[in-house]
């Protein structure tokens, strides 16, 4: 069993700043973060509480699949990873930028 360090602030890698994420933040009060592959919903909720001082209503996790790429004559694979959709109650906000 993996070590579930709930107070680990390094679970959140960075916010995903995309057009879709910005629309979700404005319309649905949902924020998107890139997280470590070992992150769990409980550890993400604890990290959001510690860093941003808000309590999420729910968290959805999504795996980012690896993809084959061909650049400069060489084939390779992108890293993939994991992202989390963090839903906040009305009135709560996270300053991403």
CATH number of the domain residue 60 falls in: 3.30.70.330
Reported as a pLDDT band with limits 50, 70 and 90, residue 95 is: confident
Reported as a pLDDT band with limits 50, 70 and 90, residue 5 is: low
pLDDT of 96 reads 74
**Is residue 95 domain-resident?**
no
**Is residue 14 domain-resident?**
yes
**Is residue 2 domain-resident?**
no
**Is residue 22 domain-resident?**
yes
**Is residue 81 domain-resident?**
yes
Residue 55 CA to residue 61 CA, distance in Å, equals 17
Secondary structure (DSSP) of 42-70: HHHHHHHHHHHS---SEEEEEEE---EEE
- Count of domains for the chain: 1
Strand order through the sheet with 81-87: 12-15, 30-35, 81-87, 58-64
Residue 5 CA to residue 48 CA, distance in Å, equals 14
- pTM higher than 0.85: no
pLDDT of 54 reads 94
Range of the domain at 35: 9-87
Q: What is the pLDDT of residues 10-19, one digit of tens each?
A: 799 999 999 9
- Structural element, H or E, at residue 24: helix 19-28
Taking 90 as the threshold, does the pLDDT of residue 1 lie above it? no
Q: What is the pLDDT of residues 24-82, one digit of tens each?
A: 999 999 999 999 999 999 999 999 999 999 999 999 999 999 999 999 999 999 889 99
């Amino acid at each position: 069993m993996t070590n579930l360090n709930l107070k680990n602030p390094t679970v959140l890698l960075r916010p995903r700043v995309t057009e879709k994420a910005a629309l979700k933040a404005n319309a649905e009060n949902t924020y998107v973060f890139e997280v470590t592959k070992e992150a769990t919903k409980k550890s993400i909720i604890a990290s959001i509480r510690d860093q941003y001082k808000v309590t999420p209503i729910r968290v959805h996790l999504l795996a980012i699949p690896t993809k084959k790429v061909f650049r400069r004559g060489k084939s390779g694979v992108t890293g993939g990873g994991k992202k989390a959709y963090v839903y906040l109650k009305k009135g709560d906000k996270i300053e991403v930028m």
